[in-house]
Amino acid sequence: MTDAGPLLCVLVGEDVAHWRIADRWTWRLIQDEKPWTVDLDPEQVFVWMENTERGGRYFKHRDIESFSEGKMGRRLRLHFRRTLRDLDSLDTKGVQAFARFVRNLAWAEFQAPKPRFVYLAMDVDRKRARVDGLARAVDARDWTVEPIGVLPDPESEAWYVAGFVPEDAPERARLDAVFARLAFDPSVHADRLTSTTSGPRDAKRVLAELTAGDEERKARCLDTDFGHLCRAGDSTGIGEFVDAVRRHVVAALR
């Protein structure tokens, strides 16, 4: 907590998987580096803004698509359309990501109470321009909210796979079977997975195979040591997310 109480956060993403990762890993990182939080409930330290219209503790991008670009530009002194014209180095996906993230941040600026941290989540799907789009959105103006990127590449399931460590013989056998099929160990090289649902390396398919479709086992993948996660998830964006939470959220706690 801070002198003003728990840190208020909001996540805008594609689905609940983004929020589950952000929630679990934020709390783990806080507990790792702030020993005084070990005996506290997470809500005493940080809380998520509730989505009162749809329910839940996260927002989908489409939940805030109606936020007016004109109002955003006038009130934030952000020349939105002119800024879009200045993004010549980005492809279409990058420009779309930029526009979405700027809208997310502008929307957060006008919430009451205003969140301290805005987690901006999107599967990269091997379209690295989306990462550049986030960077451009963060630099578009001096935001009073603090952005935290949640950008799994290719998708969130790859971050779960990076945390899969066999717990028993049947799990070892499943991993060996996937290894034989792919000719690489996905729990060590999660960056080689894809987000193509019909493909053999699809992260969702691989995660389902490794965990036998068990949701509780899938959730335990998020409890793996961060050193392993960052190594196995090299080039998937895990390290960048962990570093951002440490530098911003953890550092905000006394």
Instruction: Provide the 10 A C-beta neighbour count for residue 113.
Output: 8
pLDDT of residue 199: 87
What does residue 149 show for φ and ψ, rounded to 5 degrees? -80, 135
| pLDDT higher at 65 or 185 | 185
Report, as an integer, the average pLDDT of 135-139. 93
Q: What is the Cα–Cα distance from 31 to 38, expressed in whole angstroms?
A: 6
pLDDT of residue 198: 78
Query: Residue 174 above 80 pLDDT?
Result: yes
Query: Residue 1 above 60 pLDDT?
Result: no
pLDDT of residue 189: 96
| pLDDT higher at 48 or 71 | 48
- What percent of the chain is modeled with pLDDT above 90? 80
Report, as an integer, the average pLDDT of 88-112. 90
| pLDDT higher at 18 or 88 | 18
Query: Residue 81 above 60 pLDDT?
Result: no
Query: Residue 48 above 80 pLDDT?
Result: yes
Report, as an integer, the average pLDDT of 177-184. 97
Split at pLDDT 50, 70, 90, the class of 75 is: low
